[in-house]
Amino acid sequence: MSLLEKIDKTSVPKHIAIIMDGNGRWAKAHGLGRAEGHKEGVISVRKVVEAAVKANVKFLTIYVFSTENWKRPEEEINALMELMVYAVTKETPDLIENQVKVKNIGDITRLPEKTKKALEECEVKTSKGNKLTLILALSYSSRWEIVEAAKKLIREVGEGKIKEEEIDESLFSDYLSTKGIPDPDLVIRTGGEQRMSNFLLWQSAYAELYFTDTFWPAFREEDLYAAIIDYQHRERRFGKISEQIESAK
């Protein structure tokens, strides 16, 4: 029996974010080159997206490529960019069929023109999807995003568009690249590491964190369902005490 049947459909996390880690280590463990790990990781993305739709998750953000990843060897970066073009082009028909809408966030201007074009075309072609919004964090880092938001706010205060006293958490959130997207309820990190790696730091302030030793290329549908079930056994208090949570039910 699939773990999907054990999920409480009344408390599915609305937004799940995933730090996909372990492609290179999975490849090494299998005697393969790092590129093969990234290719297998693409299959995991497809399987997890399909599983998220089945579980009625509404938003799924995946950490595809961080700003720090630009420091990797040029050969690996080029291979990743080519794989991205191939994967996005190949998967677009299935995304449309599954009613998945794609949104790209991050410093997209740094991506090669070919990669950028493929991502933009995917966004347009999947724009009518209404079952799941898949957010691809590309050339993204949370510190970069927060600094960019601060710059915009400073500029608009200087131009008189907003007043300093109007700035609060809600307004600041509107200047982030995730504007209009609910904060993640659950953040999953694969590969055994237990850190956020500059991913959705502002948005994940109250997210539940789930760490697994499973490398991303081996992470599949049942692994996602297991994370959701673990999430459903937690008490989310948001600064309150248990008694307050119980009385509000």
Q: Catalytic amino acids?
A: 21, 69
Q: Give phi and psi for 78, each to the nearest 5.
A: -60, -40
Residue 108 DSSP label: G
Burial of 246 (0-12, 13-18, 19+ CB in 10 A): exposed
Residue type at position 128: K
- Name the H helices within the chain: 23-29, 34-54, 74-97, 113-125, 142-158, 169-173, 221-232, 242-248
Q: Say which residue the tokens 């809408």 belong to.
A: 101
DSSP letter for each residue of 61-95: EEEEEEGGGGGS-HHHHHHHHHHHHHHHHHHHHHH
SS3 239: coil
Q: Give phi and psi for 167, each to the nearest 5.
A: -75, 120
Quick one: tokens of 191? 């590969």
Q: In whole angstroms, give the CA distance from residue 183 to residue 177.
A: 12
With contact defined as beta carbons under 8 Å apart, do 188 and 210 qualify?
yes
